[in-house]
Chain A
């Protein structure tokens, strides 16, 4: 019983961490209508930017997260403007393929600078907190709280600010939004900054748990996609719901299958969801 409860707790924790990059991916998808594969590199870049701020500059983790957000957001906007923007007229698939190429370039820039070896953040060593049979690491708890705070900020932004409302309007109906005087190019830039920035922060939160290397982002790419598809492609609340569902499903599945199959769970979840409810938990339509 406590094993099951522990799996549930772990699932909620991993799910919350995956939710952050999944929101980033979904925001970009909702506004620009293409699946951006470069988010893997954005997560990696965020993780390395925060590592530099934390280990080389000695900043605490929350400040390092801000650095990661700013650096990745900036890289995301520059990358989009230079290599993807002009392809948007050719259809979502072409942009998606270009984003894979972009991902390869960015990932290898990180590899060029930092090499392939694993790096860890500068974290105090602390003992797990115990509640009866259940264990929670203090670092995991801090990451969880940070992730929740980031998501809350994102929702407030989307709900109450002018840019947030404009983003939702463009996602809902781009033509109507343009008629209302919303500049789609400006919204695209804001979305890219936010989406890439959040993905970068997600990369840090995931890296805090273990260590980072140039493939950190690529390893979570499938989980992020799974979360977005489970929740409904393009839905931001859906991305959160999908990520939690995926996290719990992964941890429960790992009770019966070997841990190396973790990303396989995401794939099976995608296939099942697409077979039985293609629009996901909270999405609109898929055909």
Chain B
């Protein structure tokens, strides 16, 4: 039971990172990324391959960040000038293509068998139980660091410029903000964070395969960010914890309903996720921790 709890909390931290990634691009810049699972996969494979070739784990994480950002730039380069709905379609396609590549390029990814035996940092020294604790701490630490940085970014002039672009990009351009460059940077940064989450996941599981990166993950994270609070990093993280707990809870609830086939139980869980997202969008679209919009300074009175 304890190891299950540690496992779940580590997963929470990883999903929290994904939620921060989505919150940066969607909550702050107002751009949609339906390919989150793809960037997650890119980071996981990048780190798995780099450490498999002998690099230390930290270098693997660095590789995930760099590759994630680079892939983010490539995917969005053609699209960011266009209307937002194009980005939705392209990013969704991207996640599918990443899965296809992971399935088919056996020389690189070992196909559907996946890559196993991924380095687990200090596992030999610590033993299995201690390693679980250690990795939980490590993942949570990374989450806290990224959260603090993004909160800082949120309050900075850069973050305000992103939100200005979200609200009205023509106005932002008119105010002299290089809109396209802001969007590209924000997308690359967001993709890099999702890739870092992937790297954390790979070394946590010691095994990655294309099955781990279903498009469903993207929906989980959308639910997390919407429920937690769009545009506020703390909200996104809270949402991620709630979604993982919700997912684990449905696992138990569905066990109590008698007479259902396993496939029906799985279908019920996914239905609940979808219904939850639709309900949140309808009933509380600003989320549990709504975005705090600082008051505009009172203009000096001329009287």
> Which of A's residues lie within 8 Å of B, judged by CB?
34-35, 37, 83, 86-87, 90, 92-94, 96-98, 100-105, 107-109, 111-112, 115-116, 221-222, 225-226, 229, 233, 258, 260-261, 263-264, 266-267, 270-271, 274-275, 278, 286-287
Contacts and interface: CB of A to CB of B under 8 A. Distances in A.
Given A96-B32, A111-B263, A35 B270 contact: no
B40 to A, nearest CB: 17
Given A97-B32, A100-B219, A115-B261, 9 more contacts: A35-B89, A93-B32, A96-B88, A97-B281, A98-B278, A229-B86, A260-B100, A267-B96, A286-B86
Interface of B: 30, 32, 34, 77-79, 81-86, 88-90, 92-94, 96-97, 100-101, 103-104, 216, 219, 222-223, 226, 261, 263-264, 266-268, 270-271, 273-275, 277-278, 281-282, 285
B100 A261 contact: yes
A94 B285 contact: yes
Contacts of B100: 260-261, 263-264
A234 to B, nearest CB: 10
20 contacts: A35-B89, A83-B278, A83-B282, A86-B282, A93-B32, A98-B281, A101-B278, A102-B278, A104-B216, A104-B219, A105-B274, A107-B270, A115-B261, A222-B93, A225-B93, A263-B97, A264-B97, A267-B93, A275-B77, A287-B82
B89 A271 contact: no
A116 B79 CA distance: 36
A96 B263 contact: no
A229 B271 CA distance: 29
Nearest to A101: B277
A115 B219 CA distance: 22
Contacts of A226: 93
B93 A108 contact: no
Contacts of B96: 222, 263-264, 267
Contacts of B273: 101, 104
Contact of B85 (A35, A105, A263): A35
Contacts of A97: 32, 222, 226, 277, 281
Contacts of B263: 111-112, 115-116
Given A101-B274, A260-B104, A90 B219 contact: no
Contacts of B278: 83, 98, 101-102, 105
Contact of A94 (B79, B81, B281): B281
Contacts of B88: 35, 93, 96
B219 A286 contact: no
A165 B10 CA distance: 57
Nearest to B264: A112
A97 B104 CA distance: 29
Most chain A CB inside 10 Å of its own CB: which residue of B30, B84, B223, B274: B274
Contacts of A287: 81-83
Contacts of A222: 92-93, 96
B93 A270 contact: yes
A221 B34 CA distance: 14
Contacts of B222: 97, 100-101
Contacts of B93: 222, 225-226, 263, 266-267, 270
A275 B78 contact: yes
